[in-house]
C-alpha cells in the first residue's frame, strides 16, 4: 500500500498552497489528489482573481495581511509568476449608510495594521474617474495594495514548487472513501488504490461536502454559481483602474486584457452544482454596467467567452479551517465564500501550522473551526462580492 504523511484532496489553489507551505516547512511525503485530468478545472481557473484587505472582520483582514504581501513577493520567493497587479479596490458609497459602514471597516483595517487604505471623497472619485456616473456617489474607500493575481499561475507555481521539493500530485484520480480506526484517519481509498495516512486535508472547494461525508461529517458548505462576463477590447475607460465596486447594487468591474471583466452577484441565484453560463445574465449585468459607466453602453460582449464558476458558501461567509471535531487527523480548508484565491497563501500557512504543530500564530484558529456553527458563534462577513 502507498503511504503519505499528509494527503490533500483537491489540487486547486487552496490545496496547492497547503502543499507548498507544508513542503516549505520540511514535510516531504505529501500527496495531492486531483480528480480532473488537469489542475484548475474547478473554481480556481474560473475565479476573478481579486485580492483585497478591505474586509469587515478582523480574521479576514488578518488573512489578507499575510496573503497580499505574499503575492507581492511570490515571483521572487517561488520563482514562478503570480502576476500580482496592485491596482487597488475602490468601493463607491451611494448613501450615508454605506459611508458609515466603510468608516467602521476603515477603523478596523487601520487598527490591524493595514497602512494603505484610505477614505476618499466623492470629489476625489469624480476627479479620478470622470467616466463614472457620480451624482449619487457620496464617498468611498480605496486601498492601493489591493488588486488582482492570476489564480491559475499561482496554483501552478505553488504546486510546481512543492513537487520540485518532494510532494506528489495524482491527477485524474478519484477519492472513493476515507477509512478511520480508533485513532482517527487511517487511509484514503482512491481509483489508484489505497493510501495509508494519518492526516487528510479536505481542500475540495465546492465539492467539500461530499468529501466530508466520507469521513462521517456534515459540512455546511453549499455551491453557488457566479457568472463573469469579459468584454471585447474597450478603450473609453482607463486600464490602470482599480476594481471598482458600486455599493448600490454590488456590480463591480476591473480591467482585463484589452477590455474589462464584469461581475455581479445575482440575488435570484440559488445554490446547486450549476456551472453553465446563462445568456440572460448578460442583459442584467450590462444594464448595471451602463448605469454606472455611461460609456459602457457601447460595450461589446461575446457570450461564448463568458463563464460560470462555483463559490463555496458557508452560513457566515467565513471559511472552515482546522481539524474536524471527532475525526482526529481530518483537516478542513473549506467554504471560502468567494475569497479562496485571495486567502490561499494564509490558508496554506494556517493549515501547515495546525497539521505540523497543532497551533498557528497567524489568526485565532478557533474562530474558524467547524464547531462554531453548533456552538452558535458565527462571525458574519458583510463585505462579500
Structure confidence by residue, pLDDT tens digits, 80-97: 999 999 999 999 999 999
Instruction: Give the containing element (helix H, strand E) for 103.
Output: helix 96-111
User: Is 77 a domain residue?
Assistant: no
Whether residues 309 and 324 fall in one domain: no
Q: Identify whether the C-beta of residue 194 lies closer than 8 Å to the C-beta of residue 2.
A: yes
Asked if pLDDT for residue 56 goes beyond 70, the answer is yes
Whether residues 184 and 327 fall in one domain: yes
Asked if pLDDT for residue 385 goes beyond 80, the answer is no
Distance, in Å, from the CA atom of 286 to the CA atom of 229, rounded to the nearest integer, reads: 9
Distance, in Å, from the CA atom of 165 to the CA atom of 301, rounded to the nearest integer, reads: 43
Q: How far is CA 253 from CA 70, 176, 235, 336, in A?
A: 24, 40, 14, 21
pLDDT the model gives residue 379: 87
Whether residues 298 and 324 fall in one domain: no
Asked if pLDDT for residue 383 goes beyond 90, the answer is no
**Alpha-carbon torsion 132, 138, 142, 147, what sign?**
negative
Instruction: Give the containing element (helix H, strand E) for 261.
Output: strand 259-263
Whether residues 176 and 236 fall in one domain: no
- The tally of domains found in the chain comes to 3
Whether residues 205 and 227 fall in one domain: no
Cell 483585497 identifies what position?
Answer: 52
Q: β-pairing, 252-256 with 243-246?
A: antiparallel
Whether residues 229 and 281 fall in one domain: yes
Distance, in Å, from the CA atom of 261 to the CA atom of 316, rounded to the nearest integer, reads: 27
Q: Identify whether the C-beta of residue 59 lies closer than 8 Å to the C-beta of residue 381.
A: no
Per-residue pLDDT, averaged over 118-139, amounts to: 98
Per-residue pLDDT, averaged over 174-185, amounts to: 97
pLDDT the model gives residue 243: 98
Residue 267 burial (CB < 10 Å; 0-12/13-18/19+)?
A: exposed
Domain range for 125 is 95-144
User: Is 178 a domain residue?
Assistant: yes
Q: What number of residues does the chain have? A: 385
**Poorest-confidence range of 138-142, 285-289, 379-383?**
379-383
Whether residues 349 and 359 fall in one domain: yes
Asked if pLDDT for residue 182 goes beyond 90, the answer is yes
Domain boundary among 282, 313, 344: 313
Per-residue pLDDT, averaged over 225-236, amounts to: 97
Could you tell me the pLDDT band of residue 378, with boundaries at 50, 70 and 90?
A: confident
Whether residues 166 and 178 fall in one domain: yes
Asked if pLDDT for residue 293 goes beyond 80, the answer is yes
User: Is 71 a domain residue?
Assistant: no
pLDDT the model gives residue 384: 67
Distance, in Å, from the CA atom of 318 to the CA atom of 384, rounded to the nearest integer, reads: 10
Amino acid at each position: 500500500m502507498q503511504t503519505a504523511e499528509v494527503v490533500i484532496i483537491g489540487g486547486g489553489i487552496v490545496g496547492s498552497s497547503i502543499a507548498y507551505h507544508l513542503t516549505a516547512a520540511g514535510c516531504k511525503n505529501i500527496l495531492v489528489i486531483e480528480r480532473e485530468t488537469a489542475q484548475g478545472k474547478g473554481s480556481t481557473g474560473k475565479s476573478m482573481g481579486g485580492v483585497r484587505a478591505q474586509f469587515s472582520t478582523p480574521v479576514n483582514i488578518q488573512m489578507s495581511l499575510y496573503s497580499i504581501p505574499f503575492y507581492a513577493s511570490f515571483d521572487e520567493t517561488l520563482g514562478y509568476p503570480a502576476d500580482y497587479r496592485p491596482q487597488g479596490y475602490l468601493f463607491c458609497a451611494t448613501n450615508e449608510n454605506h459611508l458609515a459602514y466603510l468608516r467602521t471597516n476603515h477603523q478596523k483595517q487601520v487598527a490591524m495594521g493595514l497602512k494603505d487604505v484610505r477614505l476618499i471623497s466623492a470629489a476625489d472619485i469624480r476627479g479620478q474617474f470622470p467616466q463614472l456616473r457620480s451624482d449619487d456617489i457620496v464617498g468611498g474607500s480605496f486601498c492601493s495594495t489591493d488588486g488582482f493575481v492570476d489564480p491559475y499561475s499561482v496554483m501552478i507555481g505553488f504546486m510546481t514548487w512543492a513537487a520540485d521539493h518532494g510532494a506528489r500530485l495524482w491527477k485524474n484520480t478519484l477519492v472513493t472513501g476515507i477509512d478511520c480506526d480508533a485513532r482517527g484517519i487511517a487511509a484514503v481509498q482512491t481509483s489508484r488504490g489505497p493510501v495509508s495516512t494519518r492526516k487528510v486535508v479536505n481542500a475540495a472547494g465546492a465539492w467539500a461536502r461530499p468529501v466530508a461525508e466520507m469521513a462521517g461529517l456534515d459540512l455546511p458548505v453549499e455551491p453557488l454559481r457566479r457568472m463573469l462576463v469579459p468584454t471585447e477590447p474597450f478603450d473609453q475607460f482607463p486600464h490602470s483602474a482599480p476594481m471598482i465596486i458600486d455599493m448600490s447594487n454590488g456590480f463591480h468591474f476591473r480591467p482585463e486584457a484589452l477590455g474589462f471583466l464584469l461581475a455581479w452577484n445575482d440575488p435570484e441565484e440559488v445554490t446547486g452544482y450549476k456551472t453553465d453560463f446563462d445568456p440572460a445574465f448578460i442583459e442584467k449585468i450590462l444594464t448595471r454596467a451602463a448605469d454606472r459607466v455611461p460609456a459602457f453602453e457601447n460595450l461589446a460582449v461575446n457570450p461564448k467567452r463568458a463563464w460560470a464558476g462555483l463559490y463555496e458558501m458557508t452560513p457566515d461567509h467565513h471559511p472552515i479551517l482546522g481539524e474536524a471535531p471527532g475525526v482526529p487527523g481530518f483537516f478542513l480548508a473549506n467554504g471560502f465564500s468567494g475569497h479562496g484565491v485571495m486567502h490561499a497563501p494564509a490558508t496554506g500557512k494556517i493549515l501547515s501550522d495546525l497539521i505540523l504543530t497543532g497551533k498557528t500564530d497567524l489568526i485565532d484558529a478557533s474562530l474558524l473551526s467547524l464547531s462554531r456553527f453548533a456552538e452558535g458563534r458565527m462571525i458574519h462577513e458583510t463585505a462579500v462580492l
